[in-house]
């Protein structure tokens, strides 16, 4: 990116530009906040795959895995590079900072940028595991939040929505004007219509997580005792109507059902397990899509 002065530009409470130095500071702070164990495994630590490693829970899992478990392996995210007019996405700079930390720690962690929903990315990961990491995977962490997904088999495109089911929902949210002055406003979100629920489940449910497991198992890459976790969020009663009880809640229920199915299957095939991990509210680009979450996390 050419040298330029970055000034905050926002739409509502979401800033449109990102600052490389700020992103690096955020990653460094997370790294320092993660306590190191007395002993970290040597260079042949467990092989992990983190899908959605550039933000939120996935970034936290990547950093904690490096610091506490000495993981090596692959981290996948989907971020935009800088252009002459715009900065890169924040996740682009966070990934660069995480890669620097991995190198300094002597960890062989490969960072891939691309669509995790695609079979091309699954093939690329599988080939890397075979060629570079001895053809075995110990852990898979799935932390993907996305607005859209294309089915690799049918080419059908699905779009997820954050809507309540059955009735409109009113809540208070936080916005900022052009001068940065905050204001609390009440917003209303209309109920799901048509196939909104099915579309959201197709994007944010467990379909792609299971597809990753199927793909890697089909190549014989799951190590004995392999474990996988999908990182998730339920939300508080304040957001329940539009989140856990809304369209995204239907997707979360599907994710949890997928975990039960995968857990039974992995136990039989590799003595492994599958779980969902429910975590607290975090300020991320994905979480800002939830109406009212900016005010909730701010408070």
pLDDT digits (tens, 9 = 90+) for 40-54: 766 678 999 999 999
Q: Which of 68, 54, 61, 69 is nearest to 277 (CA)?
A: 61
**Can you give the pTM of this predicted structure?**
0.92
Q: Each residue of 54-108: pLDDT tens digit?
A: 999 999 999 999 999 999 999 999 999 988 778 889 999 999 999 999 999 999 9
Query: Looking at 93, 158, 243, 296, which residue is catalytic?
Result: 243
Structural tokens at position 151: 């089915």
Looking at domain 10-150+198-240+248-281, its CATH architecture is: 3-Layer(aba) Sandwich (3.40)
- Does residue 135 come out as left (phi exceeding 0), alpha (psi in the -120 to 50 range) or beta? left
What percent of the chain clears pLDDT 70, i.e. is strictly above it? 96
Rounded-to-integer distance, Cα 209 and Cα 164, Å: 25
Rounded-to-integer distance, Cα 56 and Cα 280, Å: 11
pLDDT at 292: 82
Q: Is 93 a catalytic residue?
A: no
Kindly state the average pLDDT of the residues 22-35. 95
Cβ proximity of 221 and 137 under 8 Å: yes
Domain boundaries, the chain: 10-150+198-240+248-281
Kindly state the average pLDDT of the residues 195-217. 97
pLDDT at 3: 67
Structural tokens at position 24: 């690096």
């Amino acid at each position: 990116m050419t040298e330029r002065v970055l000034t905050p530009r926002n739409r509502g409470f979401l800033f449109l530009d990102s600052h490389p130095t700020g992103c690096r500071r955020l990653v460094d702070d997370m790294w320092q906040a993660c306590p190191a164990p007395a002993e970290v495994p040597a260079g042949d630590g467990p092989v992990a795959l983190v899908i959605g490693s550039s933000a939120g829970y996935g970034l936290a899992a990547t950093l904690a895995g490096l610091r506490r478990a000495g993981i090596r392996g692959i981290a996948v995210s989907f971020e935009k590079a800088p252009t002459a007019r715009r900065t890169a996405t924040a996740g682009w700079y966070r990934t660069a900072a995480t890669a620097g930390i991995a190198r300094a720690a002597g960890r062989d962690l490969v960072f891939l940028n691309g669509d995790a929903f695609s079979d091309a990315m699954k093939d690329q990961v599988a080939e890397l595991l075979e060629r570079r990491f001895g053809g075995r995977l110990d852990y898979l962490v799935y932390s993907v939040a996305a607005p859209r997904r294309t089915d690799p088999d049918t080419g059908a495109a699905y779009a997820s929505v954050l809507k309540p089911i059955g009735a409109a929902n009113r809540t208070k949210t936080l916005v900022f004007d052009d001068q940065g002055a905050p204001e609390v406003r009440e917003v209303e979100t209309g109920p799901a219509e048509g196939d909104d629920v099915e579309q959201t489940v197709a994007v944010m449910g467990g379909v792609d997580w299971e597809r990753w497991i199927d793909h890697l198992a089909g190549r014989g890459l799951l190590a004995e005792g392999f474990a996988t976790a999908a990182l998730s969020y339920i939300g508080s009663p304040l957001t329940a109507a539009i989140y856990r009880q809304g369209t995204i809640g239907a997707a979360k229920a599907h994710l949890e059902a997928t975990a039960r199915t995968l857990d039974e299957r992995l136990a039989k095939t590799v003595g492994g397990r599958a779980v969902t991990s429910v975590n607290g509210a975090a300020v991320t680009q994905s979480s800002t899509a939830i109406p009212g979450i900016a005010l909730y996390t701010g408070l």
